[in-house]
Structure 1
Amino acid sequence: MGAGYHGGFGNTDGATHINNDNKKYETDESLKSELRSNNIKFNEADMVFITRDKTGQIVWLENGSSSAGLTHILDGKDGSPGHAKDFERAFGVQRQNVGLYLKEVIKNGSVVSNRLVNIGNGRQGYERVYEYKGNYYTMTGIGTNGFIVSAYPFRKDDL
């Protein structure tokens, strides 16, 4: 994602497309519609991206707050450091491109670990690790509804 990168994957202004059966194409709007039909709440105005990963789950990232979403990923919570510099060191991805990079990883990366974990207050979420082009994995925290709470890179040999 160099200087010439202008965003978007696929061919329709950033809409995500998968082709599982050579007939069905999913767009951002069809994925949002699926969330709505399943009564899953999301903030469309705050959405950075939406896609489906290799587990079949619809996954999306919102700008969020210091406790979840892109703001949390980049800047951390309650004085803890965020991961903007970690993404730059590990993948060469600058801060402003982390959201789009995560979309590419989640859409095209291989899921190497997928555990349902307790996240407190009686809630559960997925600790999902993606492998995508390189010596690092991307660890994610994804709610059971598909909302990306957090993400950060780590070396494969640390798993």
Structure 2
Amino acid sequence: MMRYSYLCQGNEAFCKAFQEYNTYLQLGLLGSGLIRAKFSSVRNNAKEEYFKHREALVNKYGEADVKIKELDRHFGVAVNTAGSLLDNALIAELRAAGVKFTEADLKFVVKNNDNLIMFLEKGNSNAGLQHIIDRHWNSDELMKFFNTQDEMVETLFNAIKNNNYVSRVVDAQKRLSFVYKMPTNKGLREFTVATGDNGFIVSFIPK
């Protein structure tokens, strides 16, 4: 994490909470179950204080401030020009390209660093958010890393929108996937985002 002392001005509670969280991140103190539980509590506290303080920070420094963007990524703040996870301009691009999707079922639409429009739909048991929840939202996989399903979706959205992927993979069956590193309750972790050629997100799996 970058130095953020100037962002603490006027909010000592945020500064103290984030310093404690940052110490855990820097030292990697996640070896035992007790420490992991403490880290989760520390992160939640820092996140809550950041959410309280964020509007004042944006008003003072602007949403484009690099340190605010970094904090947004760490705490899963979903921000785009449409003010939500759905960007009407990107939806129009999908439609113009002839991509099949159900607009009412869209959870987010975002463009990655390859200019590929990626979108998550409600889906079903075979693909999309419902598949992710049915197959991977359990205590051994995604529940270990995210407090809620909404937090998971927003974190995925922000990783695609703001970060370069770690790798792009096409397997023997020519199935496309991307590996992204993103913030979680256990620090930065890598996840595989399985994607159709049309940008539809099929699955989301911790590595």
TM-score, length of structure 1 as denominator length = 0.71
Distance of 2:91 and 2:102 partners within structure 1: 10
Q: For structure 2, list consecutive stretches of 5 or more residues without a partner in the other structure.
A: 1-43, 52-74
Distance of 2:108 and 2:175 partners within structure 1: 19
* Residue 94 (structure 2) aligns with: 35
Distance of 1:87 and 1:118 partners within structure 2: 26
Task: Give aligned pairs, total.
Answer: 133
Cα drift, residue 39 of structure 1: 0.7
* Residue 94 (structure 1) aligns with: 148
* Residue 55 (structure 2) aligns with: none
Relative to 1, partners in 2 of residues 1:143 and 1:118: Cα closer, same or farther, differing over 3 Å? farther
CA contact (8 A) 1:69 1:149 kept: yes
**Residue 166 of structure 2: SS of its match in structure 1?**
strand
CA contact (8 A) 1:93 1:101 kept: no
Q: Does 1:10 align with 2:80?
A: yes
* Residue 167 (structure 2) aligns with: 113
Cα drift, residue 138 of structure 1: 1.2
String of CA shifts for 1:42-101, please: whole Å, max 9, x gaps: 11000000000112100000010000001111112xxxxx235423313x3322322222
TM-score, length of structure 2 as denominator length = 0.56
Cα drift, residue 11 of structure 1: 5.4
Percent of paired sites with the same residue: 30
Tell me the C-alpha RMSD between the 2 structures.
Answer: 2.6
Cα drift, residue 147 of structure 1: 0.2
Where do 4+ consecutive residues of structure 1 move more than 3 Å? 1-5
Structure with more helix by fraction: 2
Q: Does 1:129 align with 2:179?
A: yes
Structure with more strand by fraction: 1
Aligned mate of 2:206, from 148, 153, 156:
153
* Residue 25 (structure 1) aligns with: none
* Residue 157 (structure 2) aligns with: 103
**Residue 158 of structure 2: SS of its match in structure 1?**
helix
Relative to 1, partners in 2 of residues 1:45 and 1:87: Cα closer, same or farther, differing over 3 Å? same
* Residue 108 (structure 2) aligns with: 49
Distance of 1:98 and 1:15 partners within structure 2: 13
Larger Rg computed on CA atoms: 2
CA contact (8 A) 2:168 2:176 kept: yes
Cα drift, residue 117 of structure 1: 2.9
